[in-house]
């Protein structure tokens, strides 16, 4: 898990955050591990999510909640960009206007007394009724003389209907922040439960498929993404499960990437996302965000590793790679566009009009390199990626020669402890006709609508990479 956390942290933007749901068995060990990777100063909160409203009688204590550990890449940056929860009528109902103040409804702000303070906060106040009041012994006003005087001048102090009550400084509804700070307790009535996700959504959405055992409710992911992201941001779920993250991100106009090792990729996730795109998913947060369908996703199987170990433990090219696959892989790693020439055997790709790449599993002798150098000519350059060579490369000024395993190991960080990963933008796939967008490995399912042009990527990982 530590290696995965290090990798995930490296992929986060400075405004990014990591949210992990986990139960009591490992939560506290994971907290210590996350502190090590992210730094304790970047720990934001541990949220208790009520995952189960029921009560089991076959256990010593019935588990009702999971923990959500929240870490920021850089807490100081994240706290400035995170979003507040939307205000509701329930929150606004606390504001009243008993004195018909023209500035609208208000709530008690600084009022009454406190147990701590300085002598400057112990002063007499004359009420409109004429009664003089001071804080009891050991107590202090919550506001200074200057603050109280200014509030009186502006008519922002309430002394009760009879003008004989302890003073209250008003806080107007029009002046409060347009949102509320999230709490650490997320009850199922607000964000849903496992039962809600399974019974009320997935069973109706995919009636012929056995629901995932512990699916997350869409309302839970909706709250997380609302707090942590904005439309157009990237959301990554590296343990996809039933695909709730992608479904919610898509409906909310986020771009998303999901990774899944298990067969649920085909049994649950792809059928679910197709219904989201086609506007056939009527559950979850569909009505809340007024989702009508649209967008699309690209689906990939990650191929086999380019480098494997031979029987002696030496890194060698994976025999599953044919010549074309190897050439294309090396072009990508070396920054060339894969464009094999039909006329020149040693041109597999180009970086410029005069700079080409040639990929071969042959051993390159001095005679072979001399011939290639002559064919390339002094006005062009050629990068040769081969299995081995024996000569001084410096005698060929227009050739650069690399041994493939060494070049790949250096670029891919294969066998290193830091698990570095270079992320590159994938090319945009061309829209396919409806009749061709079927369940073919490597094909993309795309349907574009005016409601949401979101595009995303989902990977089905067949093995450790």
Whether residue 209 contacts residue 268, with contact meaning beta carbons closer than 8 Å, is answered with yes
What confidence category does residue 394 fall into, taking pLDDT thresholds of 50, 70 and 90? confident
pTM of the model: 0.69
Which residues on neighbouring strands pair with residue 18, listed in sequence order? 71
Token pair, residue 268, equals 């649950």
Whether residue 116 contacts residue 140, with contact meaning beta carbons closer than 8 Å, is answered with yes
Determine the pLDDT at residue 447.
41
The CATH architecture of the domain made up of 2-83+182-302 is: 3-Layer(aba) Sandwich (3.40)
Q: Which of 112-126, 219-233, 269-283, 296-310 has the lowest mean pLDDT?
A: 112-126
Determine the pLDDT at residue 411.
67
Whether residue 85 contacts residue 182, with contact meaning beta carbons closer than 8 Å, is answered with yes
The mean pLDDT value for 108-114 works out to 64
Measured distance CA(346)–CA(204) in Å, rounded:
57
Measured distance CA(295)–CA(278) in Å, rounded:
9
**364 three-class SS:** strand
Select from 250, 165, 199, 180 the least CA-distant residue to 452: 250
Token pair, residue 318, equals 């994976």
The mean pLDDT value for 384-395 works out to 88
Q: Which of 86-95, 157-166, 326-335 has the lowest mean pLDDT?
A: 86-95
**Who has greater pLDDT, 188 or 430?**
188
The mean pLDDT value for 279-304 works out to 91
What confidence category does residue 199 fall into, taking pLDDT thresholds of 50, 70 and 90? confident
Q: Which residues, in sequence order, are CB contacts of 430 under 8 Å at separation 6+?
A: none
Residues of the chain with CATH 3.40.50.150: 2-83+182-302
Q: Which residues, in sequence order, are CB contacts of 435 under 8 Å at separation 6+?
A: none
Percentages helix, strand, coil for the chain (3-state, rounded to 5) are 30, 25, 45
Determine the pLDDT at residue 92.
82
Number of C-beta neighbours around residue 448 at 10 A: 14
Tens of pLDDT along 224-254?
999 999 999 999 999 998 899 999 999 999 9
Whether the predicted pLDDT of 380 surpasses 50: yes
Residue 244 sits at the vertex; the CA angle it makes with 242 and 248, to the nearest 5 degrees, is 160
Q: Which residues, in sequence order, are CB contacts of 358 under 8 Å at separation 6+?
A: 346, 347, 348, 372, 382, 383, 384, 385
Whether the predicted pLDDT of 287 surpasses 90: yes
**Who has greater pLDDT, 204 or 431?**
204
Determine the pLDDT at residue 2.
93
Determine the pLDDT at residue 263.
86
What confidence category does residue 412 fall into, taking pLDDT thresholds of 50, 70 and 90? low
The mean pLDDT value for 144-167 works out to 91
**Who has greater pLDDT, 207 or 85?**
85
Whether residue 161 contacts residue 130, with contact meaning beta carbons closer than 8 Å, is answered with no
**Chain-wide mean pLDDT for the chain?**
85
Whether the predicted pLDDT of 461 surpasses 90: no
Tens of pLDDT along 301-322?
877 788 888 888 888 888 888 8
Determine the pLDDT at residue 115.
57
Number of C-beta neighbours around residue 110 at 10 A: 17
Determine the pLDDT at residue 75.
97
Determine the pLDDT at residue 441.
39
Whether the predicted pLDDT of 329 surpasses 50: yes
Measured distance CA(334)–CA(42) in Å, rounded:
36
**Who has greater pLDDT, 416 or 419?**
416
Number of C-beta neighbours around residue 201 at 10 A: 26
Whether the predicted pLDDT of 462 surpasses 90: no
DSSP secondary structure letters along 21-64: EE-TTTHHHHHHHHHHHH-GGGEEEEEEEE---S--SSSSS---
Determine the pLDDT at residue 113.
61
Q: Which of 54-58, 253-257, 326-330, 448-452 has the lowest mean pLDDT?
A: 448-452
Determine the pLDDT at residue 458.
55
**Who has greater pLDDT, 311 or 463?**
311
The mean pLDDT value for 16-37 works out to 96
The mean pLDDT value for 286-309 works out to 88
**Radius of gyration of the CA atoms of the chain, in A:** 32
Determine the pLDDT at residue 415.
47
The mean pLDDT value for 167-172 works out to 89
Question: Which single residue is written with the structure tokens 């939307």?
Answer: 86
Determine the pLDDT at residue 443.
40
The mean pLDDT value for 123-147 works out to 89
Compute the Cα dihedral for 46, 52, 56, 58 and give only its sign: negative
DSSP H/E element including 349: strand 349-352
**Who has greater pLDDT, 91 or 45?**
45
């Amino acid at each position: 898990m530590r290696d995965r956390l290090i990798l995930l942290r490296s992929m986060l933007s400075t405004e990014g955050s990591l949210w992990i749901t986990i139960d009591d068995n490992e939560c506290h060990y994971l907290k210590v591990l996350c502190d090590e990777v992210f730094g304790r100063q970047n720990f934001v909160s541990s949220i208790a999510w009520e995952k189960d409203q029921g009560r089991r009688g076959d256990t010593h204590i019935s588990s009702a909640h999971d923990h959500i550990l929240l870490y920021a890449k850089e807490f100081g940056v994240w706290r400035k960009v995170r979003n507040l929860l939307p205000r509701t009528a329930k929150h606004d109902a606390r504001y009243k206007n008993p004195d018909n103040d023209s500035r609208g409804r208000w709530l008690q702000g600084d009022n009454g007394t406190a147990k701590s303070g300085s002598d400057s906060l112990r002063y007499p106040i004359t009420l409109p009724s004429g009664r003089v009041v001071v804080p009891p012994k050991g107590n202090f006003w919550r506001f200074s003389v200057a603050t109280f005087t200014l509030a009186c001048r502006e008519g922002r102090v309430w002394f009760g209907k009879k003008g004989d009550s302890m003073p209250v400084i008003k806080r107007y509804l029009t002046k409060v922040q347009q949102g509320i700070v999230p709490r650490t307790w997320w009850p199922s009535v607000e964000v849903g439960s496992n039962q809600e996700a399974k019974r009320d959504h997935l069973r109706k959405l995919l009636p012929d498929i056995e629901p995932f055992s512990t699916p997350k409710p869409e309302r839970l992911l909706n709250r997380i993404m609302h707090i942590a992201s904005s439309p157009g941001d990237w959301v990554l779920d590296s343990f996809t499960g039933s695909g709730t993250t992608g479904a919610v991100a898509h409906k909310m106009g986020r771009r998303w990437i999901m990774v899944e090792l298990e067969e649920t990729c085909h049994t649950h996730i792809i059928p679910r996302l197709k219904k989201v795109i086609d506007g056939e998913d009527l559950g979850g947060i569909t009505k809340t965000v007024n989702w009508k369908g649209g967008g699309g996703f690209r689906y990939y199987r990650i191929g086999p590793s380019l480098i494997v170990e031979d029987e002696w433990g030496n890194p060698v090219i994976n025999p599953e790679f044919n010549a074309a696959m190897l050439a294309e892989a090396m072009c990508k790693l070396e920054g060339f566009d894969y464009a094999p020439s039909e006329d020149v055997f040693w041109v597999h790709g180009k970086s410029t009009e005069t700079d080409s790449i040639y990929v071969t599993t042959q051993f390159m002798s001095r005679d072979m390199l001399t011939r290639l150098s002559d064919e390339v000519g002094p006005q062009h350059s050629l990068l040769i990626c081969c299995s081995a060579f024996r000569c001084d490369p410096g005698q060929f000024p227009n050739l650069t020669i690399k041994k493939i395993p060494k070049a790949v190991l250096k670029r891919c960080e294969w066998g290193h402890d830091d698990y570095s990963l270079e992320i590159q933008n994938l090319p945009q796939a061309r829209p396919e006709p409806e009749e061709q967008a079927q369940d073919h490995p490597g094909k993309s399912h795309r349907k574009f609508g005016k409601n949401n042009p979101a595009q995303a990527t989902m990977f089905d990982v067949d093995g450790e990479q």
